[in-house]
Amino acid sequence: MAGLVNNLLILFLVFQNICSGFRSPLSVFKRYKDTTRSLSSECLGSNRPVISLGLSDFALDIRMPGVTPKQSDTYLCMSVPLPVDDEAYVVDFKPHASMDTVHHMLLFGCNEPSSTESYWDCDEGTCKDKSNILYAWARNAPPTRLPKGVGFRVGGETGGRFFVLQVHYGDISAFRDKHKDCSGVTLHLTHQKQPLIAGMYLMMSVNTVIPPGEKAVDADIACHYKRFPMHLFAYRVHTHRLGKVVSGYRVRNGQWTLIGRQSPQLPQAFYPVEHPVDVSYDDILAARCVFSGEGRTTETHIGGTANDEMCNFYIMYYMEAKHAVSYMTCTQNANPEMFRNIPQEANIPIPVNSDMLKMTHGHHEEMKDTDKSSLLQQAKKEEEEILDQDFHMEEAVEWPGLDLKLGQVSGLALDPENNLVIFHRGDHVWDENSFDSKFVYQQRGLGPIEQNTILVLNPSNAKLLHALGNSLFYLPHGLSIDKNGNYWVTDVALHQVFKLGAGDKEPLLILGVALQPGSDKNHFCQPTDVAVDPITGSVYVSDGYCNSRIIQFSPNGLYVMQWGEETSSGKARPGQFHIPHSLALIPDFRQLCVADRENGRIQCFRLETGEFIREIKHKSFGRELFAVSYVPGGLLFAVNGKPYPGQAEPVQGFAMNFSTGEIIDTFIPLRKSFEMPHDVVASADKTVFVGDVHARAVWKFASTEKSETVVEARLKNNPESTDPLKKQEKQHLVQQTSTGVSFVLVTTLLVIPVVVLLAILVFIRWRKTTVYGADGEHKLDSSSGRILGRLRGKGGGGLNLGNFFASHKGYSRKGFDRLSTEGSDQEKDEDDGTDSEEECSAPPPPPAPSSS
């Protein structure tokens, strides 16, 4: 008996456990949110700060022990001892912090912390002895990666035995709920000796004063280097809110070499030094911070609070282990006169739009979530409005622009009045004789193109409105138009980029050296396209056929930065290009998307930093993707190239959801055929123009959701064109059918309780009739009698519920069955009406005329 009881008890517990797994999604989500909140307050990782990662490696978790700062601009410190006595090397860092609560973090190495408490106010100091900065983080920065074979040395006879974490809490409004903060960093350490030892070189201004209202104030730092050679691999800039740009250089024999340049208002990560820089004995390290005192009413000094300023340029370096020094500083300006020769780029602020500025600052700024993400929300809303509609592109066959006599069409754009602008090559062609093996143009004897290469057309009727660009270009390629109506074009023969005013015959700006290919800051090699940021005016150039990079220039044409590299063997990695052929600037999301032509993909990057964000690639793109264009609101258009032998992907246009990268529609022309579609441009109303360099033609496409004339024109010209229409009708039919189904479901759910209630009433009435006789029936009111009459139908007998539920086949069109049938018939009639209405489509279209 006891065994039976035990078995029953076990079965009950198992059943209870199984049932506990079946909870409503709402309760599970709530439990997940509650758990997440509580876990975050309990400082994940604090119970197990040391985690073994193998025989020689381990991870050390360094976290604030659940603190709640009481006032803004609080600096709190805590220490963690190195868990081993022998020498170890820090080879990786992983931050755990958010700019919503933390302004910045610093990690120091030393032998004696300033306090033995679990945490303390950093005003007491960080370390009693000499401290070395190992790591710095601010503004949602990504993890810092050390090169292979490089590590920070800790422990042993020479390394520090304690880590001290300093966290600056700028604005404490995030702590109104009194939650506890557990920000910190996880270190990856190893016992394996590293041949190269990392260190930190801090350049810091200590006496800069920023007058109120002053537009530009420079803080300069410079020191002579007097040690063994060091190799620089990463840099980080830091100011508070008045900083506009921070730049660092190595100066050798009067030559300035850039270490790094960045806006301190962007995520303050350690960015890699783009081109490796070594520093030798007697070189000079120099840095400049540019501030603006606009908006301030009093002087601003260097200090530790948010209302003060800082000018810091951090350099991560490595040295041979036998000569390694772990920490060096420079706080003076050893040669003020030398800054007269500082490169001009150091004086050019890096623009950051106001929304990003609000998002990156954590000091005394209370913002609603809607304020923080207004741009993204607006873009999302517009995208949803567009993508909620049925969408299909068709050629506007009535558009006469296809018949224009053009040269090779290389570029298209829309001006601020939405006029179509065509960039073509007139009587010049690009063929196998155009360039030698070093990309030098071989047909200079032909002279520049005599025809007007830039044509401005009415987008509705293709009427020529304006023409310019004669005797200027040799081989036109890319075209872009800024918000002021200026034309930005590239010429692959001249290896140059031009800015032209709409009414000017001479260029307003020329970048590059005529007919000289190159890969430095002053030369291009067959540049392909230009994009201009409507917010900041920054200019982006894709360069090109023989370089693999994107270059950013200031609005005045000064070099700012570049990114990208040639595609290596095997699969193309992010940031690698094989002919960056076309650019699409997405101001809504602060991104620049590049048609990476020979890699058959689109790559998107962050505008301000060049950081890779994502790749859009589909099998239907084939091997080549020539051009890309963006429509505000969330649509991305592209055109591909002809398939290679043995490949089936056709040459066509694509419409895509920008957020997801999903292909919404593909389109091809009805008149003529795509041969090599070279550029695409789209307007806000989803009108699309495609220019073909081989067909020497421009097609116009329009969305069928708005253009009935396009649909009708296609019906008249192509008997096979009914498929898209049928597809639309079918989608519409499915939507209406879905609506009908929803109506049936709701009606059924409402009827069932009523029917059950009536059944109970009938049963009770039947029992009363049986017990009390016919007199009982007359006690019911007339409305009940009418209801029962309907339930009984034409027959007069009582209703047997047992028989009704026992067999659904044994009904006699009486009682409940009559009510159910009437409901079904009504819905069926509605559906039938919808079907017949949808199927009465247009008569079969007449045969299409032969294409011209």
- Which of 96, 238, 495, 581 does the annotation list as catalytic? 238
CA neighbours within 13 Å on the CB side: how many for 195? 3
| Known active-site residue 104 | yes
Amino acid letter, 171: D
CA neighbours within 13 Å on the CB side: how many for 474? 21
Q: Which residues pair with 199 in a beta bridge?
A: 317
Beta carbons of 485 and 503 less than 8 angstroms apart: no
- Provide the edge-to-edge strand list for the sheet that holds 653-657: 625-631, 635-640, 653-657, 663-667
Helices 722-772 and 708-717 cross at an angle (nearest 10°) of: 110
| Known active-site residue 166 | yes
Residue whose C-alpha is closest to residue 581's, from 605, 619, 548, 536 = 548
Residue whose C-alpha is closest to residue 411's, from 506, 492, 485 = 492
Cβ burial of 72 (10 Å; 0-12, 13-18, 19+) is middle
- Which of 96, 103, 361, 392 does the annotation list as catalytic? 103
Other residues' Cβ atoms within 10 Å of the Cβ of residue 20: 8
Q: Which residues contact 828 (CB under 8 A, 6 or more apart)?
A: none
Task: Let me know the angle formed at the C-alpha of 239 by 92 and 122, rounded to the nearest 5 degrees.
Answer: 70
Residue whose C-alpha is closest to residue 401's, from 427, 429, 424 = 424
Quote the CA–CA distance of 444 and 441 in Å, as a whole number. Answer: 7
Beta carbons of 741 and 827 less than 8 angstroms apart: no
- Which of 64, 99, 230, 310 does the annotation list as catalytic? 310
Q: Which residues contact 666 (CB under 8 A, 6 or more apart)?
A: 620, 652, 653, 654, 655
Helices 782-792 and 816-839 cross at an angle (nearest 10°) of: 70
Q: Which residues contact 360 (CB under 8 A, 6 or more apart)?
A: 99, 139, 265, 266, 267, 352
Beta carbons of 543 and 534 less than 8 angstroms apart: no
Residue whose C-alpha is closest to residue 519's, from 456, 464, 566 = 566
Enter the tokens of residue 694.
């081989």
Widest CA span in the chain: 121
Q: What distances in angstroms separate CA 750 from CA 111, 126, 745, 757, 819, one per listed residue?
A: 76, 71, 9, 12, 13
Q: What phi-psi label fits residue 16: left (phi over 0), alpha (psi between -120 and 50 degrees) or beta?
A: alpha
Beta carbons of 845 and 715 less than 8 angstroms apart: yes
- Which of 64, 99, 104, 316 does the annotation list as catalytic? 104
Residue whose C-alpha is closest to residue 394's, from 735, 700, 834, 11 = 700
| Known active-site residue 238 | yes
- Which of 96, 240, 392, 428 does the annotation list as catalytic? 240
Q: What distances in angstroms separate CA 696 from CA 5, 341, 431, one per listed residue?
A: 89, 50, 15
Enter the tokens of residue 120.
């303390």
Residue position matching structure tokens 């993400």:
373
DSSP secondary structure, 425-448, as one string: -TT----TTSB-TT--BS-GGG-S
Q: Which residues contact 92 (CB under 8 A, 6 or more apart)?
A: 143, 144, 145, 146, 187, 188
Q: Which residues pair with 424 in a beta bridge?
A: 409
Enter the tokens of residue 18.
């199984």
β-strands 591-596, 580-586 pairing:
antiparallel
- Which of 96, 168, 581, 678 does the annotation list as catalytic? 168
Quote the CA–CA distance of 698 and 709 in Å, as a whole number. Answer: 20
| Known active-site residue 392 | no
- Which of 99, 166, 393, 562 does the annotation list as catalytic? 166
Q: What distances in angstroms separate CA 255 from CA 8, 391, 519, 804, one per listed residue?
A: 87, 57, 19, 99
Catalytic positions, please? 103-104, 166, 168, 238, 240, 310
